[in-house]
Structure formats: structure tokens, C-alpha cells
Structure 1
Amino acid sequence: MSNIRVLLVDDHDMVRLGVRTYLMTEPDIEIVGEAGSGEEGVKRVSELGPDVVLMDLVMGGIDGVEATRRVLAERPQTKVLVLTSFLEDDKVLPALEAGASGYQLKTVLGEELATSIRKVHRGETVLEPQVAAKVVANLQKPKSPTPTAETLTEREMDVLRLIGRGMTNQQIGETLYIGIKTVKTHVSNILAKLGVEDRTQAAILAIRNGWVDAESKKG
């Protein structure tokens, strides 16, 4: 059976040295390369094709979350095991959402780290206990209610239908005989109530949910 080929990505030389020194004692793990930044890590993955990437999260340039996303887009078969000092929700959840197969803290024992590398290589998910607790807590949070047409006023629905037809604010104002400032206010309220970032997303949501009828969609 061939060795597990590992790439180390961390912006601290001493961290890479310590991890490399221990993992070199493991007969089934081979360190094929190192990178000192997220950008370099993505490049090295493309060049070396490692089985597992040990990924730091907080680095200069692109962070570990974005690097993980790019690595897996470039090479989906590679597994990413996060190795970091951070336990905050804004680090943990985005890293897992980006596709990381595991999340370990830098306080992990060398033997445990080697075991985690073997597990993610086999396709298992490995989470440090405190991380697993955060994931469970996040899953148990009440979900935001799905936006419905009932949250909008009648006038806001009129504006949304015209957004769905691709009209500009000026065109909407002329159609409804209201000022452009009023249109902008309605659009802002619509985006806030539907929980979307822009009018394109609002239009897609309206069409998908049938809030824009067939005639409206024809324009």
C-alpha cells in the first residue's frame, strides 16, 4: 500500500518544522511539500497532487477557508484537514462548509494528528471534540423562517412583480406613478424582508415561488 502523501500549509516556519519532524517518523505518511501561504498552497496542490492537505486557517493573503475552497475545486479527491489554533464559529463553520474533512487544534498530540490524517484519507470526517460540539449546536439552532409573499405589503408586491419583469427603478416608478426615491425605499424593504442581497436574487425568488405570474414573466 502506498504512503499517504501530505502537503503542509502554514505561514509559520516553526509550526511546519514541528509537524514535519513528527510525521516523518510515521512509516505510512510522506511529506511531499510545504507552503507558507494559502495562494502557495493552492499552487502546490496543483503541482504535487497530495492525498491530504494540512491547512492552517489564518494566513496572509487568502485564508485557509478560501484556500480550502480553491484546493477542492482544483482537485476534489484531495482531503483537507484543518490544523489551527482557532475555535471561533466564524472559523469552524466556514471551513467545514468549504469542504474540509477534518478540524484539529494545534494542541493535538502527534499520534492523534497522524491518526486524523489516516482517517480523512479513508474518507472519514474527523472533528476535535469542541468543534464537534459547535457543529451540533449550530444544527440545533432554530432555522430562519422561509420568506413568504405574506411578509410584503401590497405595494411591495407590485414592485417585486415589476422587478421580476426586469424593470429598472425608473421604469417601476413610471408604471406605478410613484417617485424613484419611493421605489428605492420599497426595493430596500423587499430585500430586507426576503433576506436577499440584491434585486436579481429577489426576482429569482419571486419567480421560483410563483409570486410573479406567467404574464408578468413574459414582460
Structure 2
Amino acid sequence: MTGIASITLETPDPTTAEAFYTQAFGLGERLRFRASEAPTTGFRGFTLSLVVSQPSTVDTHVDAALAAGATALKPAKKSFWGYGAVVEAPDGTIWKVATSAKKDLGPDTGQVDDVVLLLGVEDVRQSKRFYVDQGLVVAKSFGSKYVEFDAPPSAIRLALYSRRAAAKDAGVPAEGTGSHRLIVGTDAGEFTDPDGFVWESVPSRARTGG
């Protein structure tokens, strides 16, 4: 099954970015860094989400991110869907940390259950067709509003939302120009999607790791 093995964030200072993410989230080989000065302003058209088991784990990761230099975009709170928060990393990447649980059911392990790449796209239906043609399998689909693709164990999950909806969910304006500063590592081959997101082949060891 085709899946996302890793995410590469482009940043002017990869060393500093890696130090931040090691302290905040500790995602290992799933998160990589590449030097880039590509111009970018405003919303970059995507968010990354950490899905965890309970509210205390959300708080653990959010507190670690803020202590490492992240900026709070949405404070942690309960919602209809569960409990979550949104932060912006020093490199500009927007992260959501969330759980469907509304109360703790045990000790906080700090474990991340899933990582989700949410792309804010111009046309959800068109992008869905594009990714199906690349070999991805749809797990959930709500018409032109939201699509989520299946993923093998340890892989990063892909989801699609309209750009405006993705920005609203993150708590930022939808306007933005320039580079996404994002490279998606996969076994699906190399391509660029309709919204300019770049996918690259990755070594086999990255496709099997956690």
C-alpha cells in the first residue's frame, strides 16, 4: 500500500529546526529537514497533526513545544470532537495536537498514535482523484469537504481539506504565497500535485521505520 514515510520541512536553519522538534515532538525518521531560503509568506497550505490518546498527552506535547519556542495559535481546550490545540513552530510550520477523548483514562505515556498531513487544496474532488490515480486508497470521504486516505502501519496519514477550511481549523488567515517548504517522502514515485506539493521517493529504510 502506498503511504507517506517521511516529511521534510525546508527551513533556513535545519539544525535549529531539528533541535526544536526533538524537544517538542520526537518524531524520529518521520520528520526530516532541508536547507532552503525559498520565499514564503502567510499560510503555507498545510498543517501537520499529532493524534494522541488523551488530553494529558496533548498538554505534554503542547507544553514541550511552547517551552522550545513555538507560538500558540489555539490554546488547548475541549470541543465537540475531543480536545486539542494548535501551535506554530519557529520554522513556521503549523501543528495540531489532538485527541478524540475528553478525559484521561490512564497515565500519560507521551505516545503519538498517528501523524496526519492535512493539505489545504483548491479543489478537494480534483485532488482526491489525483491521489487515487497515484495509488492511494480512500479511507473516508465527505464529498467536496474532506478526504482521508488509508495508510500502512507507521506511515504518515494524508488528508485533504479546502485551503480556507484548513486555515480556519488552524486559526490563521487563508492567504499565503510562495513555497510550501514541504517535501513529502513516499514510495508512490516522484510528482507534484495540482496545488504544488512535491512528493519525492525515499530510501527503503525510511519506508519501514516507525
* TM norm structure 1: 0.24
Which structure is higher in strand share?
Answer: 2
* TM norm structure 2: 0.25
Which of structures 1 and 2 has the larger relative contact order (alpha carbons within 8 angstroms, sep 6+)?
2
